[in-house]
Structure 1
Amino acid sequence: MDLNELLVFAKVVQAGSFTSAARGLRMPKSTVSRKVSELEERVGAQLLQRTTRKLRLTDVGQAYYEHCARIVAEAEQAELAVTRMQSAPHGLLRVTAPLAFNFMGTMIAEFLAGYPEVQIEMVCTDRTVDLVEEGFDLAVRAGKLADSSSLIARRLGSIERVAMASPRYIQERGAPKSPKELAAHDCLLFGAGASGNVWTLHSGSRTAEVAIRARLTVNEPDMLRAVALAGFGIALLPNTHYAKDIDAGRLQRLLPEWSSPGAPVNAVYPVTRHHSPKVMAFVDFLKERWPHKV
């Protein structure tokens, strides 16, 4: 079966003449006529009655055309669906990000509101996901990236940790006026082991290294935040994560000119997803909305 014959036949019937059909199909009239003749020969029946004034379907041709018209319409709908999917964000978007990136929830909700034909499956994990092997469209990753020829990275922004404390702690112990004064305060340390008991802070071209006294050491950022909120010390917390605590007055930013060196944050996706509208729309959206410094 030659589907081109079916298409040409249906278009001839719809156009009402070989000339009009040839114009619409951008084919020579002789080719259109030949395709219809070959179709009639293949099915063993006359489908069109040809006169000098107009074309008319035979009874067999009418029955055959009804089936052909449905096939052609389905094919056109299939092409239209592909075109729409390639031009507008659509379908399931599988994303992975670190566990601590719960602040992205607000951005994701805003994206879903703006792109109603996109569904997101968000998997939060601290392991490095193999995007290609596990079928993910995109990862949001912090820190230095490994070299890869199969992945594309786009910089979204950075995460810097800044000194924060609760109003209760500041009222009881006062606020440090310079990085070196941190040595006299109770500090809450993120990480594990004694190697992290030195905080490195930057302010423009200036750098300060301070040996701090860790009242608490913990490797879970939300637990660190909870102890800071309770007033037990000064913590270096990610600027992207706890801006709402500062806005609400639950925590106060200390040493506002100083912060830890920023860790780059990138959107990473397979090379094969580079032309995917839903991936590109999400990456552009994250880049535009990525939080700035507190």
Structure 2
Amino acid sequence: MDRLDAMNVFTRIVEARSFTQVASDLGLPRSTLTDAIKRLEDRLGVSLLHRTTRVVRPTLDGEDFYRRCLSILSEMEDAESAFSGAKPKGKLRVHVHGILARHFLLPTLPDFLARFPDIEIQIGEGDRLVELVREGVDCVLRVGAPADSDLIIRKLTSLEEVTCASPAYLDRFGTPQTLTALDGHQMVGFRSTAAGTVLPLEFIQRGERKTVTLPTPVTVTSADTLVECARLGLGLIQKPRYSSADDLASGRLIEVLSNTPPPSSPVSILYPRARHQSPRVRAFIDWAERAFTAA
């Protein structure tokens, strides 16, 4: 068994948490897999796996090596596919903003998988900063202006944002007509795990971006909780119009300061330069772009 085969065996054992299952899947004796992992560990000079009678799991070194193996094996698959003309295949690891994905991407995911049946998508959710290469992630979908990065950034669309609050809040604090009327108001704080800070309210006034920070009786890290707090009358919030439509139509939330709207938020896909020629990543990006255009 050469090094690439051993790396493939190692990644499958990590994912299955079992020597026996992988041996059965590959039609190989369990001892062959054990020997392959032992040779890998001897060559690297580290222990890659914790083995018990019930489960197999990677050590810290094993987790790091696993991610590196994924990157190498992915590059090999992509190189072979590029020359053979084969359809994209293999695992595609993406990290997305959950609400965004559920609204724009998931409705057409069955069509994507029907077109590319040999691609297996693993979706992680959140807005934290992801170290794509180290974590073995192929691409991330993000809202907001990406920070300077060595990653390739492909903008998909821009999302219109609204400022809103509940009727109960507006009855208590009044409905602001101008930015100066925000004195005495409060907001529900949203702490971005990516930025590590509470985001201010932002407005476009006569073509210029203005930021306003108000008292925050409650600070949250979840978009769903942000909206629920606004419904309960705890403060002003800003959120994408697409995800506010039901609340605005039902009257649970009311738009304010529409003459000075928040700036639109760009939606982008970021991926390492090494993934630029990956058939899997190209297929996913092209599909995501169509999904946002059609929505």
One-letter amino acid matched to 2:182: L
Three-state SS of the structure 2 residue aligned to 1:214 is coil
Q: Distance in 2 between matches of 1:83 and 1:199?
A: 46
Alignment of 1:1-294 (within 5 A): 86=85, 88-98=87-97, 101-115=98-112, 116=114, 117=117, 118-141=119-142, 142-148=144-150, 151-158=151-158, 161-191=161-191, 199-210=201-212, 212-239=214-241, 241-290=243-292
Task: Sort the Cα spacing of 1:287 and 1:137 in 2 relative to 1 into closer, same or farther, 3 A.
Answer: same
Larger Rg, first or second structure (1 or 2): 1
Q: 1:133 to 1:173 in 2, by over 3 A?
A: closer
Q: Describe the SS at the equivalent of 1:94.
A: strand
Q: Structure 2: how far apart are the matches of 1:280 and 1:204?
A: 39
> What is the DSSP-based 3-state SS (H/G/I as helix, E as strand, rest coil) of the residue aligned with 2:217?
strand
Tell me if the contact between 1:183 and 1:211 (Cα under 8 Å) persists in the aligned partners.
no
**Displacement after TM superposition at 1:262 (Å):** 4.5
The DSSP-based 3-state class of the residue aligned with 1:170 is helix
Identity %: 29
Change (3 A) 1:243 1:90: farther
What is the TM-score when the length of structure 1 is the normalising length? Answer: 0.56
SS in 2 for 1:231: coil
Q: Cα distance, 1:160 vs. partner?
A: 6.2
State the shift of 1:164 in Å: 1.0
Supply the distance in 2 between the matched residues of 1:110 and 1:90 (Cα, whole angstroms): 21
Residues 196 and 270 from structure 1, CA distance in 2 versus in 1: closer, same or farther, beyond 3 angstroms?
Answer: closer
- Does the CA contact (< 8 Å) of 1:87 and 1:277 recur in 2? no
Contact 1:197 1:214 in 2 (8 A): no
Q: How many positions carry a matched residue from both structures?
A: 206
Task: Tell me, yes or no, if the aligned pair for 2:165 and 2:255 is still in contact at 8 Å.
Answer: yes
Are 1:202 and 1:258, in contact at CA under 8 Å, matched by a contact in 2?
Answer: yes
Q: Deviations over 1:213-256 (max 9, x none)?
A: 43333344332221111123222234454444334443222112
1:198 and 1:89 mapped to 2: Cα distance?
A: 42
Q: Which deviates more from structure 2 when the two are superposed, residues 223-232 or residues 181-190?
A: 181-190
CA distance change for structure 1 residues 241 and 120 in 2, over 3 Å: closer, same or farther? farther
In 2, distance between residues paired with 1:91 and 1:109? 19
Distance in structure 2 (CA, Å) of the matches to 1:245 and 1:87: 46
Cα–Cα, structure 1 residues 176 and 122, in superposed 2: closer, same or farther, change >3 Å?
same
The alignment partner of 1:215 has SS state of: coil
Give the Cα–Cα distance (whole angstroms) in 2 for the partners of residues 273 and 180 of structure 1.
48
Distance of 2:200 and 2:104 partners within structure 1? 34
Structure 1: gaps spanning 5 or more residues: 1-80
